[in-house]
Amino acid sequence: MSIIRSMPIPTPFYARTSPLNKSHEWRNWSGYLAAGIYEPIHDREYYAIRNSAALIDVSPLFKYEISGPDAEKLVNRIFPRDMTKCQLGQLLYSPWCDDDGYVIDDGTIARLASDRFRITAADPNLAWFQDCGYAMEVAIDDVTTSLAALAVQGPNSREILRQVLSEIDLDALRYYRLARGKLGAHQLTVTRSGYTGDLGYELWIEPEHAGLLWDRLMQTGAAYGILPAGIIPLDIARIEAGLLLIEVDYISSRKALTKDQKSNPYDIGLGWTVDFNKGSFIGRKALFGIMQKGPQWQLVGLQLDWNSLEALFTAEDLAPQVAGRASRSALPVYKNGRQIGQATSHTFSPVLKNYIAIATIETPYARKGSAVQIEFTVEYVRRKAAATIVKLPFFDPPRKRA
């Protein structure tokens, strides 16, 4: 009876993903229906990412295009990376900051033409980009709804795409590069990128051809073990790949309620994106100060000592039991009884057969190989398990770049 459209709304792939979603577990991703998981258990979907191929609907990503004579100037002003080095057909990953050097969001920037860039973002950024481009000769467009986005990830992804797409040389398409191709008569953009840390591609196509793209990939992929995967198995893969999730591993400076909730790129392991040789950009002055002083925090990996974890359960006469899904509720990390940081994303890694976490740790304690403790609740009692600080990513197969 009501005329108010119930929320969240479908993506361009919903007609295909909906009947496949046997678990009926949907998540609200930026106001869109995103399959959390298609099957009752995440294992098959997860292993599709790591062992065969997975189709992941990533249409809810915010997408912007910046074009015009000043396009390069503007992206170089917004992002701390040197965007003049972004060649035609190349993608760069970068955070972007406010004037105080705090991270607003992170995403990829693709150069579609000498004077045209496409940016993916986790949060709405139109007003911010427009403000950054004040008095510049640029057009800034929100193309979120005019592009359907589908990730094809996993070792077999290239083989499947080779058979489905035409007029594209996939062998020549290197990591973090893009190429145009065709699905039948329809144009699409292929980027070699993804949120899994595996061999994979993301396909960008007009929404009206989304169904066809999905069908062709599923038909051809069947012989290669392709499966649709939801964002729950994807979350495990991205933790293994050491990739950050906004509002989980760090809080956007636009949403932070206190200064302490904000992060600069150095705090979250993205100091490498900051380039002081490129001239002025937003946050430069603040970031230069932070760089000189050294950041307060470091982003690290934590590998749990399984025996120590098991002992917590053994003490309760239980076999070790950890959630199969990734958790986004932060756990305190200790050194000698003092809290030195927090594990913001953690999961059991099916490929590594260990419990792993992405953690933010006070710089003096963030040395690789250092022994720390992580809080673990067993039988309602908070306990501590031993863990070691390791380098990210946890999982980085050669095929990702091959």
Partner 1 sequence: MPEHYDAIVIGAGHNGLVNAAYLARAGKKVLVLERRHVIGGATVTEEVLPGFKFSVFSYVVSLLRPEIVRDLNLPQHGLTILPLESTLTPLPGGDHLYRDEDHFRTMRDIARFSPRDADAYEDYSRTMYFMAKAVKIIMDIVPPDPTSLHPVELRKLARLAKHFLGLPEDQFYTLVRLMTMSSADFLERWFESEPLKGTLCASGVIGTYLGPRSPGTAYVLLHHYMGEIDGAYRAWGFAKGGTGGIARAIARAAQSFGAEIRTEAPVSSVIVRGGKAAGVALENGDEIGASLVVSSLDPKQTFLKLVDPQLLPDELLADVRKYNIRGSSGKVNLALAAAPEFACMPGVGPHLRGAISISPSVDYIERAFDDAKYGDFSRHPYIDIVIPSMIDPDMAPPGRHVMSCFVQYAPYQLRSGDWEGQREAFGDCVVDTLAEYIPNLKDIILHRQVLTPWDMEQVVGLSQGNIFHGELSLSQLFFLRPAPGYAGYRTPVPNYYQCGSGTHPGGGISGAPGRLAALEIIKRRR
Name which of 98 and 115 has its Cβ closer to partner 1: 98
CB of 159 to partner 1, least distance (A): 37
Please state, as a whole number, how many other Cβ atoms lie within 10 Å of the Cβ of residue 157: 29
- Identify the burial level of 48 via C-beta atoms within 10 angstroms of its C-beta, where 0-12 means exposed, 13-18 middle and 19 or more buried: buried
Hey, which bits of 157-296 come out as E strands?
A: 178-183, 186-191, 200-205, 226-228
CB of 316 to partner 1, least distance (A): 36
Hey, which bits of 114-199 come out as E strands?
A: 116-121, 139-142, 148-153, 178-183, 186-191
Residue 30 makes contact with partner 1 by CB under 8 A: yes
Residue 353 makes contact with partner 1 by CB under 8 A: no
Interface residue with partner 1 among 15, 22, 24, 28 (CB under 8 A) is 28
Q: Are 310 and 318 in contact (CB under 8 A)?
A: no
Residue 31 makes contact with partner 1 by CB under 8 A: yes
Interaction mask 32-51, partner 1, x per CB under 8 A:
x-------------------
In the region spanning residues 247 to 266, those forming contacts with partner 1, defined by CB under 8 A, are 254-255, 257, 259
CB of 30 to partner 1, least distance (A): 6
Q: How far is CA 190 from CA 75, 155, 165, 184, 401, in A?
A: 21, 16, 10, 14, 15
CB of 131 to partner 1, least distance (A): 9
| Residues 192, 207: Cα–Cα separation, whole Å | 20
Binding segment for partner 1 (CB under 8 A), chosen from 87-95, 122-130, 278-286, 322-330, is 122-130
Residue 116 makes contact with partner 1 by CB under 8 A: no
Name which of 17 and 144 has its Cβ closer to partner 1: 144
Tokens at residue 201, please? Answer: 């591609």
- Sites of contact with partner 1 (CB under 8 A): 1-5, 7-9, 28, 30-32, 124-128, 130, 142, 254-255, 257, 259
